[in-house]
Amino acid sequence: MEKFNIAIDGPAGAGKSTIARLVAGALGFVYVDTGAMYRAVTWRILEEGLREDQTEEMISLTRQSNIRLAPGSNGQAVYVDGQDVTGMIRSAEVTGNVSRVSAISEIRDVLTRKQKEMAAGKGIVMDGRDIGSQVLPDAEVKVFLTASVRIRAERRLKEISDSQPEVTLDQLMTDIARRDRMDEQREASPLVRAPDAVLIDTSGLTIDEVVHRILELAGSRV
């Protein structure tokens, strides 16, 4: 089959990574989770103990760090300078700091360049916030997934109820709304639907229905 690229954007918890992984599996394409790359950089910055005002140090640390994604047993494994950080990048501390780090345009430039390289050979399903608008503006298929804040928080609660039983629905709704605000309002590549991206509201749809819809779009692309 001829290869092409699929860009999937949307706010936190819209189901992007689950859906992107399934779409990639169905097509035999490679899945790239760009949120994991921003999380990996954030983890590295926190690990280094940099303060919020040390922007220059954050940028040079990002330039020096080797971030690698590889297929893992449970989705995508993430390595920073050879160290497996797959679990650590999902911590509350990284989640609480990632939007601030990803608002720094020089850091976005480093990761955007890497993401473009990864997609150059085609056959990629990439998810994030700015894939259809900035990273892969020529992607053959572009989708923008969304869902209400409550539905997104309920989904996240289900995902983490075993590992973090202390977290409440209210906390998740506040956290998701705050990240939406930061991602939408930042100056550098804000979360925005590309004009040619197909909008899919996943609130009332099952995962399979969304995957099916995207595969239909992929099948009918021109």
Rule CB under 6 A: which residues touch ligand C5P?
A: 12, 34-35, 38-39, 98-99, 102, 128-130, 179, 183
In the bound state with ligand C5P, the residue whose beta carbon lies nearer, of 19 and 98, is 98
Q: How far is the CB of 102 from ligand C5P (least distance, A)?
A: 3
Q: Is 12 annotated as a binding residue?
A: yes
Report how far apart the first and last C-alpha atoms of the chain are (Å, whole number). Answer: 14
Q: Is 13 annotated as a binding residue?
A: yes
CB under 8 Å to 190, separation ≥6 — which residues? 129, 130, 183, 184
- Crossing angle for the helix pair 55-64 and 34-48, to the nearest 10 degrees: 120
**Residues facing 9 on adjacent strands:** 128, 144
Q: How far is the CB of 135 from ligand C5P (least distance, A)?
A: 7
Measured distance CA(153)–CA(160) in Å, rounded:
11
Q: How far is the CB of 75 from ligand C5P (least distance, A)?
A: 12
Encoding tokens for residue 97? 């700091």
Q: Is 11 annotated as a binding residue?
A: yes
Measured distance CA(96)–CA(147) in Å, rounded:
21
Q: Is 121 annotated as a binding residue?
A: no
Q: How far is the CB of 162 from ligand C5P (least distance, A)?
A: 19
Q: Is 95 annotated as a binding residue?
A: no
In the bound state with ligand C5P, the residue whose beta carbon lies nearer, of 150 and 216, is 150
Q: Is 15 annotated as a binding residue?
A: yes
In the bound state with ligand C5P, the residue whose beta carbon lies nearer, of 137 and 216, is 137
Encoding tokens for residue 218? 């992929």
CB under 8 Å to 65, separation ≥6 — which residues? 40, 41, 44, 80, 81
In the bound state with ligand C5P, the residue whose beta carbon lies nearer, of 67 and 98, is 98
Q: Are the C-beta atoms of 40 and 48 separated by less than 8 Å?
A: no
Encoding tokens for residue 181? 């605000």
* Backbone phi and psi for residue 4, each to the nearest 5 degrees, phi listed first: -150, 175
Q: How far is the CB of 39 from ligand C5P (least distance, A)?
A: 6
Q: Is 10 annotated as a binding residue?
A: yes
Q: How far is the CB of 23 from ligand C5P (least distance, A)?
A: 16
In the bound state with ligand C5P, the residue whose beta carbon lies nearer, of 74 and 220, is 74
In the bound state with ligand C5P, the residue whose beta carbon lies nearer, of 108 and 211, is 108
The binding site consists of: 10-18
The binding site for ATP consists of: 10-18
